[in-house]
Structure 1
């Protein structure tokens, strides 16, 4: 069983923001595999189903970004999954060009508060993650304003295309391993 958690902020005002691309990715996976993500438990909204024959729990923590680890930890504990093998976190990254993907099996939070919370709550940096590039913030802009802002029409189109690649990356990570997905997606957007 795999827990796949997309990070974001609850409430409608954050829909479509850069910080919520993790939620958007979960919604896309749910659509493709016809998984209803509408149950509430463990400080999150979730749905259970199958991706390529493997049981998955799709999770959107409802704790707000900075406390994402609380929800993720509760799901890990309840379903007794190994976070180093059976957890995939999907989230935004301002250090990557818009739409660029980067897959990692471990690492620091890199300044991302949602990942800081997960590392703190799990007590490990060793878990699979898919970063979706949202572009570097303009120098004159506050970081919070940038990540809580909306994409331009062109950037939104690029991100939607990359979310299709996220689905394929998740499939590879589940059916093969993270290395298989890394070999394909850890490169610059063409």
Structure 2
């Protein structure tokens, strides 16, 4: 691990109010939750194709004071999902972040709502955001936090499912899962991959 480089914490989603509540945007939910915990606001640095918020993480939590501290750069790409890698590559190059310190939070069809998984590397499972990041970083060996959204019901197309909003009845579960994913980011950075997997991979 590079001690001087920050961690890039990338929440995947599509920009714009029309997509804000979509299942495909759960990465944005988690990035927003982390920014809220840290008391920081997102800005759009010129040329970076993303909204970015910088903070630090200590044993006391995100935004905490004290040492030792890890720098975090929270990222919401402003490209559409299929081009997420553009923003990730630009920010990783700018901050000199190695792939193993790029945490990507994304929706996962193969996990039911209420379940999350922390993993390192692996396939893209048809997820265009992951595919784009792999192409732009030249590797898939980055940590992922997979936010379960479940499979579409009946014969509903996957694209229609991921681009639809959660049901009102699911709201409490989504909020809980968002906080759990934010916790998983903190544990992954502070305590490492195994600790995060042991705690969150139910």
TM over 0.5: yes
Q: Secondary structure at the match of 1:39?
A: coil
Look up the match of 1:170.
185
Look up the match of 1:51.
57
Look up the match of 2:19.
14
CA deviation string 1:34-59 (max 9, x = no partner): 12112334110101111223211000
**2:7 counterpart of 1:2:** yes
- Point out the more displaced range, 69-78 or 40-49: 40-49
**2:84 counterpart of 1:79:** no
Q: Secondary structure at the match of 2:45?
A: strand
Q: Which has the larger radius of gyration?
A: 2
Q: Secondary structure at the match of 2:71?
A: strand
Q: Secondary structure at the match of 1:20?
A: helix
TM-score, normalised with respect to structure 1 = 0.95
User: 158, 173, 177: which is aligned to 1:143?
Assistant: 158
**2:198 counterpart of 1:183:** yes
User: 153, 164, 168: which is aligned to 2:168?
Assistant: 153
Return the offset for 1:136.
Answer: 0.8
The ranges of structure 1 where at least 4 consecutive aligned residues each deviate by more than 3 angstroms after the TM superposition are none
Tell me the distance in 2 between the aligned counterparts of 1:129 and 1:119. 12
Tell me the distance in 1 between the aligned counterparts of 2:169 and 2:57. 30
Return the offset for 1:115.
Answer: 0.2
- Point out the more displaced range, 24-33 or 164-173: 164-173
Tell me the distance in 2 between the aligned counterparts of 1:9 and 1:102. 22
Look up the match of 2:61.
none
**Aligned-residue CA RMSD in angstroms?**
1.0
- How many pairs were matched up? 186
Q: Secondary structure at the match of 2:152?
A: coil
Structure 1, gaps ≥5 residues long: none
Return the offset for 1:103.
Answer: 0.6
Tell me the distance in 2 between the aligned counterparts of 1:144 and 1:11. 17
Structure 2, gaps ≥5 residues long: 1-5, 59-68
